Amino acid sequence: MEVQITSENFETLKNGQLPLVVDFWATWCGPCRMVGPVISELAKDYDGRIVVGKCDVEENEELAVEFGIRNIPTILFFKGGQIVDKVVGAQSKAKLEEKFNSLL
């Protein structure tokens, strides 16, 4: 299940026991709407093993700025509180699944 990522909960999730995947998106972004259902599906598939969150760049601009998000969707992969991978733009489920598996 996906969680909403905000400035208030980000640090706690990033530094939690489980790896974290953050989908930076916006409601008006076409490619974001394409990749959104894939992220939701992967969130269910990896529930209990990886925390998957969505971060609306318009509501959490400071997080987007902190990570230099210039294009969306951008998906960041965290392990041990550090960024270990990043993908920009709409990706296939197979490509994203590969990235998820590398976090485990």
| C-alpha pair distances (Å), 83 with each of 14, 22, 33 | 9, 10, 24
State residue 7 phi and psi, 5-degree precision.
Answer: -60, -30
CB 82 within 8 A of CB 41: no
Give the separation between CA 48 and CA 30, rounded to whole angstroms. Answer: 29
> Could you give the maximum distance between any two Cα atoms of the chain, in Å?
33
Q: Which of 32, 50, 51, 55 is catalytic?
A: 32
Note if 55 is an active site residue: no
Q: Which of 20, 21, 22, 29 is catalytic?
A: 29
Q: Which residues are catalytic?
A: 29, 32
